Chain A
Amino acid sequence: MDITRSLIALLFFPGGLFLLLLGLAYEWVHRKLIAQLQNRIGPRWFQPLADMLKLLSKEEIVPEGIHPLLFTSLPVVALAGALTAALYVPLVGLAPAYSFPGDLIVTVYLLSLLTLCLGLAGSNPLSRFSLVGATRTLTQLFSYEAPFLFALLGPAIVARSWQISEIMAYTQAQGQQSLLGWLVFTQPVGFLVALVGLMGKLELPPFDAPEAETEIVAGVLTEYSGRGLALFRLAKNVELVIGLTLIAAFYLGGFNSAPGATGGLQVLLFFAKTLLLLFLLAGLQALFARLRIDQTVGLWWRFGALLMLLQWFILIVWRGMVA
């Protein structure tokens, strides 16, 4: 019985197939929002799926002078990492499929796997665009990763647990007391850094220097076509969903804010909160011009990291006073 349940959780719901479709759906919402904000019409609802099928049916060209095994396996590893991370987060408002003390750290590292794979994938081919893209991807990783991790550990400190389900239980309890108990109001810096950090992770504008098309074509993905490109894109979609879920669970009072909420309401709250975050994300994305890679690094270390440290300091002092 347990094995069947595990297999279903892994392959169909909430991980696996369902998550892939959810990722495609969120990609569509994201693209449509950006288009509307930019005075365009935007894609039809099945466009992300159509793109994916088209890419999967295309020939995958493996460039000369590279390690072919590395080239084909990196997208798979990236997607696998993202899908594994999904097992530890409260997707669709339901309890995580797996949970153990410290799973927050594991999840954050699994999410970074995509970026590491992109970095390796970019330094593998002989293409200069890929190489510059890889350098920028890894540089960017070092700038947003620490503040992003800090931003997710802020809730962990106040909840006194490094386990996602326990942190969520804490935020939900806070949210049920009053709306002001949402951590977005008590830890606004953490919320902002987490949201903007997610944009950096997904290389969305203004943090799209690693794939700035007007400079380096498509960055690390320049040499990818067909299946590899499709898998990298899927991995990014999955990360988008997971990232939004984590931020909503930690900062927007979880998915069980109303006392006596039922399962249906949880699902509804999940979509309402993650889509609200997606709207914020799209708004930020449409608002800014691309940052140069040195500006990105400067922004994160001069503001993001320092503000996060300041908030940590306040949290720890506050905890010491309360305790």
Chain B
Amino acid sequence: MQSPNGKESQERFVIPIGPQHPALKEPGHFEFTVEGEIVVAASARLGYVHRGIEKATESRTWVQNLYLLERICGICSHIHATAYSLGVEQLAGVEAPPRAQAIRELVAELERIHSHLLWLGVAAHEAGFDTLFMYTWRDRETVMDLLKGLTGNRVNYSANILGGVKCDVDEAQASAIYRGLDFLERRARHYLDVVTSDAAFLERTRGIGVMTREQAETLGAVGPTARASGVPRDIRVEAPYAAYADFPVHLILDRAGDLEARFVVRVKEMFESFRVCRDILDRLPPGEISVRMPRRIKEGETISRVEAPRGELFYFIKSNGGESPERIKVRTPSLCNWASVLNTVVGHKLADVPMILVGIDPCFSCSDRMVVIRTGRGDPEVWTWEKLRRYGIEAHGHHT
């Protein structure tokens, strides 16, 4: 039979995953070198959904950018707008009223519930456990409806404006949220039971993709991925922003570092979100929900750090005193977690790869910051720091 690969099956060969592949919800390219079913090397190539948002912010006003930046991520849109608003408010020397800060936190925590439920479904699907996938996505509808009732939108909520929020919480909305949270808490308790006791599922998660605390710290993992390896890192606790000082959350940690721990940490974080959402609604500060913002922002630069559902989201904002920012740099949590995938995947079976890949809850379009067109099929090009810097200066057309 004419099968040149027949012989290779005993040796190493490369399994390409992507740019288009059923396991990936967004385009990305991964090459896993396998010996039989065992992965011996892994590499990632991103950039297929690079949109040039950072550059685009420089030609838009401060207010327009709020809506542009919210669209960096379709799942954690609110947290991007929050990070940006907090940063710009800090530059302008304005502080949003306490009620607005509390509503920001409320929406952020509802968004976290939505994001974690979505992830739970996707991860279950990667393990071939479609029943769990279907049920979590049904329950996710509940929290999306709550967000729609609160802000008018299911996905890009646009709850933030510079200087506050645009939507208030009334009695009817509050009681709807209480009801929804009760339902979701019952469901989440069930899911925690499933991911910690379903024998067939545990076969696929327990002891798979283990990352030790040392590895997590060396590789710079963030968010639930790091917390599942016992790294106590959560911006909400370390450096409370918005209303997190008044309505604190507890750090959820697990020391196992395997896929099961990543499930457990995320589901337990949902309980923490349910609790803090109720806490906010119970004692929502009275008063205004926004203050006036100047059109021009004072010259200066600042950083803004928030905890997105996937981990630390970092904004660097620089103003030259005009109507548009001079530079906005976004570092999303997915970018920090890629290295952990490429390191932990080695030595595992090919069948475990999709689950380990999805275990960090990757967001591809969040990660894409530049595109390099590979012309030939030769060795990947190595970019030195000097070359990258020169390229950046030329591409952006100016240098400060």
Interface residues of A, Cβ cutoff 8 Å to B: 37-40, 65-67, 70, 120, 123-124, 126, 128-129, 131-132, 135, 205-206, 208-209, 212-217, 286-295
Contacts and interface: CB of A to CB of B under 8 A. Distances in A.
Given A67-B1, A131-B9, A214 B128 contact: yes
Nearest to A128: B15
A38 B204 contact: no
Q: A-B pairs with the 9 shortest C-beta distances? A: A290-B128, A289-B129, A214-B23, A38-B134, A292-B351, A214-B354, A288-B200, A213-B22, A289-B201
A38 B128 contact: no
Given A126-B4, A289-B128, A217 B200 contact: no
B353 interface: yes
B375 interface: no
A284 to B, nearest CB: 11
B9 to A, nearest CB: 6
A38 B2 contact: no
B193 interface: no
Nearest to B13: A128
B356 to A, nearest CB: 12
B380 interface: no
B203 A295 contact: yes
A83 B14 CA distance: 38
Given A124-B1, A288-B129, 17 more contacts: A39-B134, A65-B2, A66-B2, A70-B1, A120-B1, A123-B6, A124-B3, A128-B5, A128-B13, A128-B14, A131-B5, A209-B351, A215-B354, A289-B132, A289-B198, A293-B351, A294-B349
Contacts of B2: 65-67, 124
Contacts of A135: 9
B124 interface: yes
A206 B135 contact: no
Contacts of B126: 214
Contact of A289 (B6, B15, B204, B349): B204
A82 B15 CA distance: 33
16 contacts: A40-B134, A124-B1, A126-B3, A131-B9, A132-B37, A209-B351, A214-B125, A215-B351, A215-B353, A288-B129, A289-B132, A292-B204, A292-B352, A293-B37, A294-B37, A295-B203
Contacts of B14: 128
B297 to A, nearest CB: 46
B346 interface: no
A149 B354 CA distance: 34
A294 B351 CA distance: 10
Nearest to B128: A290
A205 B3 contact: no
A293 B132 CA distance: 21
Given A289-B127, A290-B127, A213 B15 contact: no
Contacts of B130: 38, 205, 286
A124 B4 CA distance: 9
A292 B131 contact: no
A39 B204 contact: no
B138 interface: yes
B5 A126 contact: yes
A37 B23 CA distance: 23
Interface of B: 1-6, 9, 13-16, 21-23, 37, 124-132, 134-135, 138, 198, 200-201, 203-204, 349-354
Given A132-B350, A135-B9, A213-B23, A39 B1 contact: no
A40 B134 CA distance: 8
Contacts, number: 98
Nearest to A298: B203
A15 to B, nearest CB: 31
Contacts of A215: 23, 350-351, 353-354
A39 B129 contact: no
Given A39-B135, A39-B138, A135-B9, A212 B128 contact: yes
Contacts of A128: 5, 13-16
Nearest to B127: A289
Given A215-B23, A292-B352, A38 B131 contact: yes
B128 A205 contact: yes
A140 to B, nearest CB: 13
B349 A287 contact: no
Contacts of B125: 214
A295 B349 CA distance: 11
A96 to B, nearest CB: 36
A209 B201 CA distance: 14
A209 B13 CA distance: 19
Contacts of B6: 123, 131
A128 B3 CA distance: 11
A76 to B, nearest CB: 18
Contacts of A289: 124, 127-129, 132, 198, 200-201, 203-204
B354 A37 contact: no
Contact of A287 (B5, B131, B135): B131
Contacts of A288: 129, 200
B243 to A, nearest CB: 36
Contact of A214 (B1, B13, B22, B131): B22
Contacts of A124: 1-3
Nearest to A67: B2
A294 B201 CA distance: 15
Contacts of B15: 128-129, 132, 216
B200 A206 contact: yes
| Residue with the greatest number of chain A CB neighbours at <10 A, chosen from B6, B16, B203 | B203
A131 B10 CA distance: 12
A40 B198 CA distance: 22
Contacts of A208: 128
B203 A291 contact: yes
Contacts of A216: 15, 350
Contacts of B1: 67, 70, 120, 123-124
